[in-house]
Chain A
Amino acid sequence: MPSNDERWLDAEAGPVVRPYALTQGRTRHAGASFDLVATVTATQAAIADLGSLAPEHMSVLQLARAPTTVADIASDVDLPLGVVRIILADLRELGLVAIRTPVVMAERIDKHTLREVLNGLRGL
């Protein structure tokens, strides 16, 4: 009998996700939401209770030593975005990371930035 552990839905969708075991089944994170390109930076605060962190929390924390984005982290740790978001929110609650929405997200992208993007692309 074939294993029922991995059920593929169709060609476009992968198997039903298991990584939420990492988040104790939580699918929503605590606190304010953050964008895919929000900047994540480790705060260098001391970890009070090492035992409360899963290896994945540690991997994410390592990646955030230099400022990076939520999407970059998810890609590097190879976990689904939703899982990475919950891990990041956990780390934020513990004061271990700061998550900031990029400046340009706050308002509409100004013309000066648009011209900078245009020049940057032309120079590629």
Chain B
Amino acid sequence: MDYGVSDPASGNPRTSSQHRAIKILLAGGFGVGKTTLVGAVSEIRPLRTEEPLTEGSLRTDSTVGVEGKTTTTVAMDFGRISLRSDLVLYLFGTPGQQRFWFMWDELAIGALGAVVLADTRRLADSFPAIDYFERRAIPFIVALNCFDGARRYEKEDVRMALDLEPELPIVLCDARSKESAKEVLIALVEHVLITASEEPLSGIV
């Protein structure tokens, strides 16, 4: 193969032809359909990461003598969608509880934005995720997974219940459907484009 290591001092003349990876985060409580949605729209793959043991779990597990080993593995939903040969979308689905925020901190850097997947029967489960993205000014939308048998709510009722800004998109979806999952991602990218248009230019021409 014919490629070399780029010299950081000389810059990289082949930047434009480089592989571009775009991250999208998918957050939400357990059982809300994150894995289903990632699987519907992308090639889903296993990915494990580590979690430091929290105070709560330390109390139930004796770690005397193994203080350095306070880590456990957590499975993440990881999907990739090749849009073009040089443009790949990476979806990362992470559990919504606060104790997983350390994972989001890393995932969020440079991410295009986030989708908060919510279940109208357990809206409170999505509070931590919404709070997280709002506080860090990470663009996000809310997608309501329409479970069979769950009562349908008006989007505006959900907006009020979640205390969301009027311009924040709320979309209804069926996480099992590829078309529907695709629409959710499209809604996020459109939202990010609109948000970007409203911001003053940051000096980059």
Contact = CB atoms under 8 A, between A and B. Distances in A.
A65 to B, nearest CB: 7
A25 B67 CA distance: 12
A117 B112 contact: yes
Interface residues on B, range: 35 or more
B51 to A, nearest CB: 6
Given A37-B90, A117-B87, A10 B57 contact: yes
Contact of B69 (A16, A39, A82, A116): A16
B46 A78 contact: yes
Interface string A100-111: 101111011111
Given A35-B110, A36-B23, A104-B110, A120 B50 contact: no
Given A13-B51, A14-B75, A25-B68, A71 B90 contact: yes
Contacts of A7: 61
A13 to B, nearest CB: 5
A49 to B, nearest CB: 20
A17 B109 contact: no
30 contacts: A9-B72, A12-B30, A12-B95, A13-B51, A15-B73, A16-B69, A16-B71, A17-B72, A27-B71, A37-B90, A39-B18, A39-B19, A39-B21, A66-B1, A69-B21, A74-B48, A81-B49, A82-B49, A98-B5, A102-B18, A102-B20, A113-B20, A113-B22, A114-B189, A114-B196, A116-B83, A116-B87, A117-B87, A120-B87, A124-B182
